[in-house]
Amino acid sequence: MRSVRLRLLVAATAVLAGSPAAAQSPAETAPAVRGLDAIYPELEALYMDLHRNPELSRKEEKTAAKMTSRLKALGFEVTTGVGGHGVVGLLRNGQGPTVMLRADMDGLPVEEKTGLPYASKTMGVNAAGETVRVMHACGHDVHMTSWIGAATLLARAKDAWRGTLMMVGQPAEEGGAGALGMLKDGLFTRFPKPDFAFAIHDSASLSSGRVQFVPGFALANVDAVDVTIFGKGGHGAYPHTTVDPIVIAARTVVALQTIVGRENNPLDPAVVTVGSIHGGTKHNIIPDEVKLQLTVRSYKDDVRKRLLAAIERIARAEAAAAGAPKPPAVTITEGTPATHNDPALTRRLAAALGRALGASNVQEGPPVMGGEDFSEYGRAGVPATIFWVGAVEPKAFEAAQAAGTSLPSLHSPLFAPDRERTLRTGVATLTVAALELLAKR
């Protein structure tokens, strides 16, 4: 095993470094290496192009074409249109495992306010037919660029590994349906089912140049729930002639908080948040209905089931107690299962990255209540893990920590990754992980 790890480190150095100086300074391996230096200007240009030209979920046609053309130029067998605008590239290199690297491709309906010279001014049409501003506010442009960088380095170093490299460009991550759409379209049946799946996600709460891993539950079940409460409208001066859905909604919002506070085991993380409440048109009019929008988060499947059932039970009970003319409508509009990182795979890759990037730059982190549909690949029976790559300029991160202030988060119109350091670390992380899993034995 020791000789295998030594060969891996040599292979990683050959692909990523190419210089003795880089090997002597592990913490600077990825950023300072010659192999990455040679392609970095091209990657930076790609990143800026992707950032300027984001596309909304299910509309990633031009983005997918850019990924496709680059994979084809590297010698990959490429299939397009998988589960929408999904892209699958295969690079076969003898007998060995199949390793899947995933990058998500969609942007968000956010108006960019970073002031960057390459800021997005793109407009798009959302699912409701509305024209909206579009931005890569979650770093999918970082993911794609790092993914192309890793594909390039690995394609140029085929003597260092054996097996099949499977590059998956995934659409519609933000809506939580992209991974499932690709699976339903035969991702693991039309193509080789991978032995391992790996992805990165940039982090707005981690210094650039650093990598974070989370064994086990890393991201949450996420469900979007719409509740429509029905009443009997009328004049605000004569409430006794009405059934006021605003009052029912207010009682419902308060009662929903008892689900986490009194029904859920406090050792099982759970969140029930009412993020939106709409009803009425004027001061003196009691409306016929009120709409609530909730986000519901958990890790365990049984907790998820109980939370959703409790929401419907409470909404119906409050409506019945008020004499509502009919029960509320409760609809789950979006859902993404929790991401459970395979513990053995996660620790294996963390160790490999620690050797390549420096142990101090690779650290274990806490689980979060955000969501990621990368979870679907693990639930489909593939050992899978996703790592965080820091995106915050180190001095800005340290200053914010010292002052106790918040930095722009993912999905913020002000989110702007520390471009070069983040991209270099992303490329290195994907490449080293692939080499660890595809290394000659």
Cα(9)–Cα(11) distance, integer angstroms: 5
Q: Give the sign of the dihedral formed by CA 126, CA 131, CA 132, CA 136.
A: positive
Read off the DSSP letter of residue 14.
I
Tell me which of 55, 141, 173, 418 is the catalytic residue: 173
**Alpha-carbon distances of 43 from 101, 118, 130, 288, rounded to whole Å:** 17, 14, 33, 55
Tell me which of 55, 60, 104, 106 is the catalytic residue: 106
Closest CA to 150 of 438, 439, 433, 436: 433
Burial class (CB in 10 A: 0-12, 13-18, 19+), 344: exposed
As a residue count, the chain comes to 441
Cα(224)–Cα(12) distance, integer angstroms: 42
Residue identified by tokens 């180190």 is: 394
Burial class (CB in 10 A: 0-12, 13-18, 19+), 270: buried
Q: Is position 106 annotated as part of the catalytic site? A: yes
Instruction: Locate all alpha helices (DSSP H) within 156-220, ordered by sequence.
Output: 178-184
Q: Is position 185 annotated as part of the catalytic site? A: no
Q: Which residues contact 439 (CB under 8 A, 6 or more apart)?
A: 4, 7, 8, 11, 160, 161
Read off the DSSP letter of residue 259.
I
Cα(78)–Cα(80) distance, integer angstroms: 7
**Alpha-carbon distances of 235 from 165, 287, 320, 325, rounded to whole Å:** 67, 9, 22, 17
Question: Which residues are catalytically annotated?
Answer: 106, 173
